[in-house]
Amino acid sequence: MPRTVEILQSYGVGDDLLRKGHRAYFFCNYNYDPATAGIKFSSKLQGINEPTAQHKCCILHHQGFIESLLLSGLLQAGVKVERACKPVKMALSEDESEFDNPKAYPVKLVLEHAAAAPGTPSTEAVRAKFVVGADGAHSWVRRTLDIAMEGDSTSRVWGAIDFTPLPSSTFPDWRNIATVNARDAGLMLIPREDGKVRLYIELGTEDALPRDARGRPDTSGLSPAALLDIARGVFKPYTLETRPEDVEWWTAYIVGQRVAARFAEKRRVFIVGDACHTHSPKGGQGMNVSISDGHNLAWKIAHVLKSWSPMSLLDTYEAERRPFAQELIAFDRWYAEGFSAKARAKLVADTADGAGVALPGPLEAFLSFSAITTGVGIHYAASAITSPTSSPEPGAAAPGPFALMPGKRVPPHALVRVADRRPLTLQDALPADGRARLLVFSGALTGADDAARMVSIERAVKALVDRVWKERFALVVVLARVGDATPYLDVPMGLREDWTSVLVDAVSPFSNESGGAYAALGVPASGQIVVKLEQYLHGWMI
């Protein structure tokens, strides 16, 4: 999803995803047609239409690949992930004063090394400043903290299978995202890299499954052949042809629609991703939301460790992500409704005349939630780090989609870099390197008057940064306009120590025509300074 691509890009690990991922531009919908007792094409819509999404498509690659991007980014930073190592015991300090001290190690853990060399101990006791449980739907960390999952008690069973269809398969939309609703079953098709596809096949509620000896739903009777048989039934009258050797992977699993009651314990132990929210795979949200959780939490822990922020900053993680997870579950319930047996039954009843109408729009549902599902429209509530210091003028127009707003991500508005005229976006100038940014919208620089004004801006910025924060902040200068003959040297040196951070609103390397950046970002032509923490904005005028 677009926001996830932005996050990976901001860490410098997104390029391979852009290069190798499959791009899905369209979402298709096929529904049951009583006239033929098979499915029929219903609609095809542009899947991503958020104006601020830089790529108007979903970019798809399997989870192992995304993990390899993150692992290689970590390796470049000198961090090696240890596998075959899991916590088996966790206890928090009984000395309450330790929790307020960011230098303390108040979490005691026992780790078990599954692959310990013979003769070396297989367990290891460690003390940690922070623990993050990114350990999935069955999270050990969550259970150890005794955090309840709140939500639906009935759970649905999904099959997932990855394979390459043969060209002789007659279903026409293998390379688009598709929701397919037959009379008795439904599935979702996600095209993958290298011509593969993934199907998510709804297998009913867990009550429909036999129970194993311990009373748990038993998926062991399932197989790739069984899943493909169900899918073939759904696709009729179209065909799905594949060979056993073209099946790459399959699974079956039970999902609830649940959110953890808490995301954190004593500001020291956190849970992220599937450990704190589970939902159906249909919205394509699982990994996307989980990566956003991690991105939200990581910089906050870093700022606390560097003594740049008080421990209370960490409270904003749950305050921001838990309401978002709840919104997502609400979406998931509504969206999944379009696939349910009840909805299918209603469809059949409603269309007794055989006309074959569409279900009440799962695609439209997806698109109406697209600020959430794409991730680019997430808007966190006001807090210590998201309150604006100024209010909009009375009678001012509503902010447009690109407007800089406290609590929203900085949008990727197109700009041009002054020194080399390279086109880029405002986001490209804001890598997630741990530093906050002073975005200096300094107005136009076209003549001697402007040059003099720039010098006073340089002085103001220097005073501000020297006084308040120093190493935490990097500058990004966005000029409203430069003249065709404006020398780059007219930007005062204090504002251009890093030539890559001086940008201008222009439509192309070869033209100084304005691309309307100031107006779109909601910045007055006279200029503004905007303070940006990792994901948030505070704003005030200079």
Listed ranges 22-30, 246-254, 278-286, 436-444: which one lies at the site for a copy of itself (CB under 8 A):
22-30
505's tokens: 């609103």
Does position 448 interact with a copy of itself (CB under 8 A)? The reply is no
Q: Which is nearer to a copy of itself, 124 or 420 (CB)?
A: 420
Does position 513 interact with a copy of itself (CB under 8 A)? The reply is no
Q: Which is nearer to a copy of itself, 162 or 318 (CB)?
A: 162
DSSP β-ladder status, 414-417 and 502-504: antiparallel
Instruction: Tell me if 370 sits within 8 A of 331, measured CB to CB.
Output: no
Residue 429 has a CB neighbour count (10 Å cut-off) of 21
Provide, rounded to whole angstroms, the least separation between the CB of residue 175 and a copy of itself.
4
Residue 222 has a CB neighbour count (10 Å cut-off) of 19
- Spell out a b/e string for 107-141, using b for 16 or more CB atoms within 10 Å of the CB, else e: bebebeeeeeeeeeeeeeeeeebbbbbbbebebeb
Residues forming beta bridges with residue 477, ordered by sequence position: 440, 502
Q: Which is nearer to a copy of itself, 93 or 176 (CB)?
A: 176
Instruction: Give, in degrees to the nearest 5, the angle at Cα 151 between 145 and 152.
Output: 130
Listed ranges 106-114, 257-265, 490-498, 529-537: which one lies at the site for a copy of itself (CB under 8 A):
490-498
Separation between Cα atoms, residue 490 and residue 451, nearest integer Å: 6
Does position 15 interact with a copy of itself (CB under 8 A)? The reply is yes
Q: Which of 377, 287, 371 is nearest to 66 (CA)?
A: 287
Separation between Cα atoms, residue 181 and residue 320, nearest integer Å: 35
SS3 content of the chain, % helix, strand, coil (to 5): 30, 25, 45
Q: Which is nearer to a copy of itself, 82 or 245 (CB)?
A: 245
Does position 441 interact with a copy of itself (CB under 8 A)? The reply is no
SS3 call for 334: helix
Q: Which of 502, 515, 505, 455 is nearest to 476 (CA)?
A: 502
Provide, rounded to whole angstroms, the least separation between the CB of residue 232 and a copy of itself.
17
Residues 105-144, one symbol each (x = binds a copy of itself by CB under 8 A, - = not), give: ----------------------------------------
Provide, rounded to whole angstroms, the least separation between the CB of residue 510 and a copy of itself.
6
Please report the beta strands in 214-361, taking only residues with DSSP state E, as ranges in sequence order: 247-255, 258-260, 264-265, 269-271, 277-278
Does position 422 interact with a copy of itself (CB under 8 A)? The reply is yes
Provide, rounded to whole angstroms, the least separation between the CB of residue 240 and a copy of itself.
14
Instruction: Tell me if 7 sits within 8 A of 295, measured CB to CB.
Output: yes
Provide, rounded to whole angstroms, the least separation between the CB of residue 16 and a copy of itself.
9
- Tell which one of 25, 99, 130, 469 touches a copy of itself (CB under 8 A): 25
Q: Which is nearer to a copy of itself, 397 or 489 (CB)?
A: 489
Residues within window 44-73 making contact with a copy of itself, judged by CB under 8 A: 46, 56-57
- Tell which one of 115, 117, 398, 493 touches a copy of itself (CB under 8 A): 493
225's tokens: 């052949």
- Tell which one of 333, 421, 462, 472 touches a copy of itself (CB under 8 A): 421
Q: Which is nearer to a copy of itself, 153 or 168 (CB)?
A: 168
Separation between Cα atoms, residue 471 and residue 159, nearest integer Å: 50
Listed ranges 284-292, 316-324, 482-490, 523-531: which one lies at the site for a copy of itself (CB under 8 A):
482-490
Listed ranges 165-173, 257-265, 329-337, 516-524: which one lies at the site for a copy of itself (CB under 8 A):
165-173
Long-range contacts of 60-64 (CB under 8 A, 24+ apart): 60/21, 60/22, 60/23, 60/24, 60/190, 60/191, 60/192, 60/193, 61/17, 61/20, 61/21, 61/22, 61/192, 61/193, 62/162, 62/192, 62/193, 62/198, 63/287
Does position 420 interact with a copy of itself (CB under 8 A)? The reply is yes
Residues within window 188-227 making contact with a copy of itself, judged by CB under 8 A: 191, 195
Q: Which is nearer to a copy of itself, 374 or 386 (CB)?
A: 374
Provide, rounded to whole angstroms, the least separation between the CB of residue 348 and a copy of itself.
25
215's tokens: 């009373």
Does position 509 interact with a copy of itself (CB under 8 A)? The reply is yes
Site residue total, a copy of itself (CB under 8 A): 35
Task: Kindly write down the DSSP assignment for every residue of 158-178, as one continuous string.
Answer: EEEEEE---TT---TTTTSEE
DSSP β-ladder status, 58-60 and 247-255: unpaired
Provide, rounded to whole angstroms, the least separation between the CB of residue 235 and a copy of itself.
13
User: How far is CA 518 from each of CA 399, 445, 505, rounded to the nearest angstrom?
Assistant: 12, 14, 8
Q: Which is nearer to a copy of itself, 130 or 174 (CB)?
A: 174
Q: Which is nearer to a copy of itself, 20 or 143 (CB)?
A: 20
Provide, rounded to whole angstroms, the least separation between the CB of residue 384 and a copy of itself.
36
Q: Return the amino acid letter for 362.
A: P
* Site residues (vs a copy of itself, CB under 8 A): 15, 19, 22-26, 46, 56-57, 167-168, 170, 172-176, 191, 195, 419-422, 487-489, 493, 496-500, 509-510
